[in-house]
Amino acid sequence: MMTAQETFQLEMASAEAYEARFVPAMFAEWARELVAAAGVAPGQRVLDVACGTGIVARTAAEIVGPAAVTGVDINAAMLAVASRVRPEITWLPGDAAALPVPDEAFDLVLCQMALMFFPDPGAALREMARAAANGGTVGVVVPGRLEDQPAYGPFVDLVARHAGRDAASLLGVYWACGDTGRLRRLFAEAGLPLVEIATRTGIARYESADDFVAVEVESTPLAERLSAEQFELIRSGAGNVLEPFTDDDGGLAVPLQGHIVLATKNAD
């Protein structure tokens, strides 16, 4: 069975698909929400942890300027795409559990849709706290629980039915930090007094059920784990599974519940 650490080691084609499809469909909206909730403002220094192709870093750079933003990711393909899209931002290879940045170097340390993939989320949060200045903010976005996802729950079941639980477990990792009680414990154990958890539902938009399946497969390591036959079975079944979220024109509006978690370092 694959481990959490294995889940987002992407090849270049998948990283390109992630930027071209996942970012506009879903992650750009959450990046705006995170940056706004964290209160990013001119004059601040921002670190984007597990930055992927850099949508949070780019969104923050619109406010603070690219020279004040650094993105870190363990995946070389993701960083290659990020640096091509916005070369003025500093992009660094690195593990979230051993960030290649000095102590207390950033006013805001942000991490979008990645905490659940880390082998040791607590170690990553401790590193984020180390990188944050005293009084600085650590802000994280994670998906909610799978049972609170009306579209993704049935889709994960569809993948399991046609590709097996091992393949579906890759999608299952997405929801590993969805329990708010666990989030509170993780932050507390990292020495970060919790300011707030805001739960909201975003809408990911796709051209069709086929487009949804293509994005979920081609932009993730599932692309290397499904046979052509398995992919076709999933694609052909997705229309029925996702029918409640289909517009009159065939487009999809897929709800995704997520938690925005904010903490202040050394808060009184």
**Mean pLDDT, to the nearest integer, of 75-96?**
97
Distance CA 14, CA 22 (A): 10
**Quick check: 167 pLDDT over 80?**
no
Same domain, 36 and 161: no
Count other C-beta atoms under 10 Å from residue 147's C-beta. 9
**Quick check: 175 pLDDT over 60?**
yes
Domain contains 1 = no
Domain contains 2 = no
Same domain, 67 and 187: yes
Domain contains 3 = no
Same domain, 197 and 91: yes
pLDDT, one tens digit per residue, over 206-264 is 999 999 998 887 766 777 778 889 989 999 999 999 999 998 888 999 999 999 999 99
Same domain, 158 and 186: no
Same domain, 93 and 165: no
171 vs 136, more confident = 136
Same domain, 151 and 189: no
Same domain, 110 and 21: yes
Joined together, the tokens standing for residue 127 give: 């590193």
Domain contains 4 = no
**Mean pLDDT, to the nearest integer, of 156-161?**
91
Q: Which domain holds residue 113?
A: 9-143+177-205+256-267
**Quick check: 7 pLDDT over 50?**
no
**Quick check: 98 pLDDT over 70?**
yes
Same domain, 151 and 246: yes
Same domain, 170 and 181: no
Domain contains 165 = yes
Domain contains 243 = yes
- The count of structural domains within the chain is 2
Burial of residue 42 (CB within 10 Å: 0-12, 13-18, 19+) is exposed
pTM above 0.75, yes or no: yes
Same domain, 77 and 36: yes
pLDDT at 10: 60
pLDDT at 165: 76
pLDDT at 3: 35
CATH number at residue 104: 3.40.50.150
pLDDT at 268: 59
Same domain, 139 and 159: no
Same domain, 85 and 185: yes
**Quick check: 55 pLDDT over 90?**
yes
